Structure 1
């Protein structure tokens, strides 16, 4: 059947087309290219400096949402249930609004990165207006080195409101918002923001930190800080482990307690009951950034990969100095952790 026209084939074009098909066939069937195809489908490289900036941004954005409730007690407190120790585990609108701000800030900038938050998506996220960039002193971070890693190796942990129990009691000094970046399970970036004093402390292991909170201050070597709302027997055990000349101070929020260690107001942070990893990941990274250490009572470093459990049941020993000693003394009361 003739449609009223002819088709003329260009010999050079035909050759190029055939050559392209052959190259495509070789590529798709070559075992040496399996890794390349996997890389294309598994994600992209992430610049850790940019991820740090966004983590700081997210923590401040969440802090803004939390601080809105400072003089508003209509935060609709609910209970998630009881902890193993019988303590109430509350959640409020401030938790949800901070989660929305922090989670959306991270995933909009890095959609290929896995983000784990203490809270889940909530209808209140629809009420959240878009924010501008929270960081105003970006020039202070430009000097940091550009480091790229695969998105598949990154897990981001978010705690939208640490110390919720204390928040409901107007003990705002304990409240923080936290972001942690783990690479292959190891915490490498930690950000702890204190919304009610508008202070952000951050650290990137091996790369840089915010100004040292110690400022040549000596560590209070006889001061131990422990949980206020999930204390269990930690106060009595700490006094037995370290001696009656030590002072054991209860405080709210894992983030706050790590900051007290970093500032020298406590020699060690001790926790002996179950704790969630979004509570300690940022503090773990911060301590490493300032040459401190956080481990389980048994001396094991926590794994923050996406496949790991969100609960650590093996206690926490955190310190800038003599962490081994604090841990070994505590192990006498927990033989299974030796």
Structure 2
């Protein structure tokens, strides 16, 4: 007897095909879903790791800053002038530091936004994080803290106080990294390459710096810019009186350190101030790290009107700034004369 064949009606063929498509769809959807879940998981950032990377980046940049200065091959040139007419300088120290700092952070965390003072297209895939978390960070910050990568903006200043760097006034020079989450400064690192001072702070978690034991805001010492001062001296005296001591210094990072007790035996090389004031425009890579560091020790950095500064996108802060720690910040703001940096 001839073997029996299986014959499917057109309807049976259609049902079979539909079932096959359904099975394939569910299999594909499951694979796609798992891949999307993994992708979403990869797009988070552990802020404790990012603090360690920021610390390493600032110190790596500092090595380049010292090397270029020691070789005396600055190759300085002007990027233009500020609104006050001061030269904005660029040196090989700025560029080489940028290349190390920017590439280290982007190679480690490719999904986050990194803004640097220097615009440079050199890509160096060989710059890699050591995967080391310093003991002082491990001891202070016990747990990981994950945030979405798209919420993170990193601001780096590869060489703060370039003018002073060219004049060999190296105590003012710093390299800085700031991590902002949803526009709020959360992690700040300020490193002094020539004195081996590295101060860091993580808001809500801790810092290796702290406020000094006392401050005087009745007749304060006010630190201001030596190269972008504008009319700040008369402004300070109008606010606090003619007996106010005004300290002219280079670099926003240095000025923030002057408000703090920093972790080093060489701290005597840093001036001690009670208030930091700036009344002209200033870039956010200059001030974000200081803002985070101060916030981590319950200090403040605001505009002259007392407004918080957003660190998400636009690089220019047009509201001036006043910074303090260990004192009543609102009391300082109340003594400041009305001033609009955009009109001066």
Query: What is the TM-score when the length of structure 1 is the normalising length?
Result: 0.84
Give the match for residue 331 of structure 2.
325
Give the match for residue 273 of structure 2.
266
1:170 aligns with 2:173: no
* Cα displacement (A) at 1:37: 5.5
* Cα displacement (A) at 1:177: 0.1
Write the mapping of 1:198-237 to structure 2, written as runs, cut at 5 A: 198-212=196-210, 214=212, 217-221=213-217, 222-237=220-235
Give the match for residue 4 of structure 2.
none
* 1:192–1:255 contact (8 Å) kept in structure 2: yes
1:88 aligns with 2:91: no
Distance 2:274 2:27 in 1: 63
- Two-structure CA RMSD over aligned residues (Å): 3.1
1:56 aligns with 2:61: no
* Cα displacement (A) at 1:42: 10
SS in 2 for 1:121: coil
Give the match for residue 5 of structure 2.
none
220 and 169 in structure 1: CA distance in 2 versus 1, 3 angstrom threshold:
farther
Give the match for residue 301 of structure 2.
294
SS in 1 for 2:258: helix
* 2:279–2:341 contact (8 Å) kept in structure 1: no
Distance 2:119 2:331 in 1: 39
SS in 2 for 1:70: helix
142 and 283 in structure 1: CA distance in 2 versus 1, 3 angstrom threshold:
same
Give the match for residue 6 of structure 2.
none
How many residues end up aligned between the 2 structures?
Answer: 312
Distance 2:37 2:224 in 1: 46
325 and 213 in structure 1: CA distance in 2 versus 1, 3 angstrom threshold:
closer
From 311, 315, 320, the counterpart of 2:316: 311
* Cα displacement (A) at 1:245: 2.2
Give the match for residue 5 of structure 1.
none
Give the match for residue 110 of structure 2.
111
Give the match for residue 97 of structure 1.
96
* 1:43–1:150 contact (8 Å) kept in structure 2: no
Query: What is the TM-score when the length of structure 2 is the normalising length?
Result: 0.82
Larger Rg: 2
* 1:220–1:265 contact (8 Å) kept in structure 2: no
Unaligned 5+ runs, structure 2:
1-16, 262-270
Give the match for residue 265 of structure 2.
none
Write the mapping of 1:114-153 to structure 2, written as runs, cut at 5 A: 114-121=113-120, 130=127, 133=130, 138-143=134-139, 144=141, 145-153=143-151
SS in 1 for 2:69: coil
From 144, 147, 158, the counterpart of 1:160: 158
